[in-house]
């Protein structure tokens, strides 16, 4: 089934910007089994991320990094809203061939993100499966300011979830969209003891791990955190935070050989 367009306000595409595509292909092929063609990484034939592209971001500076783009119904309107509520439009809006109309933005705290008005590509076609994008989380020391900005621009709600040690970004009504793709979602969540409102979750609001500036950090789902960390090291990556348990999730933080940081996550319901 072809994935439908993401609803307005849902993170929809991830790109490794400023990357050497050949080096990225080698590393992520070994770690996740991705196949890369024309700057797009695929798993099981479906697009999962962009590698080396800049479609959702301004021209990259410095080391490679992951850039998150958020789906919007009209990128020009969304970019105007970003500026109105204290953010900055750094690049665009601009058409990227027949793929999407995009803009690169910075929120009031300095965290960068993209806007993605889909045309030929809706965004990631496969998510939450092992080896694919799981979440993008905003790490910031100003959660109240972030809640005000992203709430005004995208309609997000910041809902504390103490059991997970973080605050959940919710987009009201997103669960209804997910149920059209996965009719068994609600029943499965209930059986797994997933918290109420989790179906509307589109990311997390977390405290920064150190004194780093506010940033969007990315998490990939894996089927065995420890085994994937071993593959990361064998392929030339670096372990920043070794495998550890946080509630029902086993996590690790690693850097790829290009300098981009990512979290690995294996969720194990009770």
Residue 21 lies in domain: 11-118
Residue 171 lies in a domain: yes
For the domain that residue 60 is a member of, what is the CATH number? 3.10.180.10
How many domains does the chain divide into?
Answer: 2
The pLDDT of residue 215 is: 94
| pTM, rounded to two decimals | 0.92
In this structure, are 256 and 222 located in the same domain? yes
Last residue of a domain, one of 64, 88, 118: 118
Same domain for 164 and 190, yes or no, is yes
pLDDT digit string, tens, across residues 73-107: 999 999 999 999 999 999 989 999 899 999 999 99
Within a domain: residue 153?
yes
Say whether both 139 and 163 belong to one domain: yes
CB 204 within 8 A of CB 168: yes
Residues 181 and 249 in one domain: yes
pLDDT of residue 199: 85
Helix (H, G, I), strand (E, B) or coil at 130: coil
**Among 47, 56, 46, which Cα is nearest to 18's?**
56
Closest CA to 70 of 11, 112, 111: 11
Confidence of residue 55 (pLDDT cuts 50, 70, 90): very low
Is 77 domain-assigned?
Answer: yes
Q: Which of 93, 118, 143 finishes a domain?
A: 118
């Amino acid at each position: 089934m072809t994935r439908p367009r993401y609803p307005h306000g849902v993170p929809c595409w991830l790109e490794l910007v400023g990357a050497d595509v050949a080096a990225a292909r080698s590393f992520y092929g070994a770690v996740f089994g991705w196949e890369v063609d024309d700057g797009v990484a695929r798993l099981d034939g479906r697009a999962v991320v962009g590698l080396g592209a800049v479609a959702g971001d301004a021209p990259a500076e410095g080391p490679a990094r992951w850039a998150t783009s958020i789906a919007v119904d009209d990128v020009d309107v969304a970019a105007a809203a970003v500026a109105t509520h204290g953010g900055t439009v750094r690049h665009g809006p601009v058409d990227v061939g027949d793929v999407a109309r995009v803009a690169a933005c910075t929120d009031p705290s300095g965290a960068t993100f993209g806007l993605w008005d889909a045309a030929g590509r809706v965004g990631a076609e496969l998510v939450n499966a092992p080896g694919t994008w799981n979440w993008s989380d905003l790490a910031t020391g100003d959660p109240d300011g972030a809640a005000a900005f992203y709430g005004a621009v995208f309609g997000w709600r910041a809902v504390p979830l103490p059991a997970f040690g973080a605050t959940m970004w919710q987009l009201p009504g997103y669960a209804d969209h997910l149920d059209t793709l996965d009719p068994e979602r609600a029943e499965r969540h209930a059986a797994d003891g997933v918290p109420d409102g989790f179906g509307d979750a589109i990311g997390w609001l977390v405290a920064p791990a150190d004194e780093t500036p506010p940033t969007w950090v990315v998490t990939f789902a894996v089927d065995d955190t420890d085994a994937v960390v071993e593959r990361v090291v064998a392929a030339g990556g670096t372990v920043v935070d070794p495998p550890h348990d946080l509630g029902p999730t086993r996590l690790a933080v690693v850097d790829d050989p290009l300098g981009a940081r990512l979290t690995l996550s294996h969720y194990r319901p009770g």
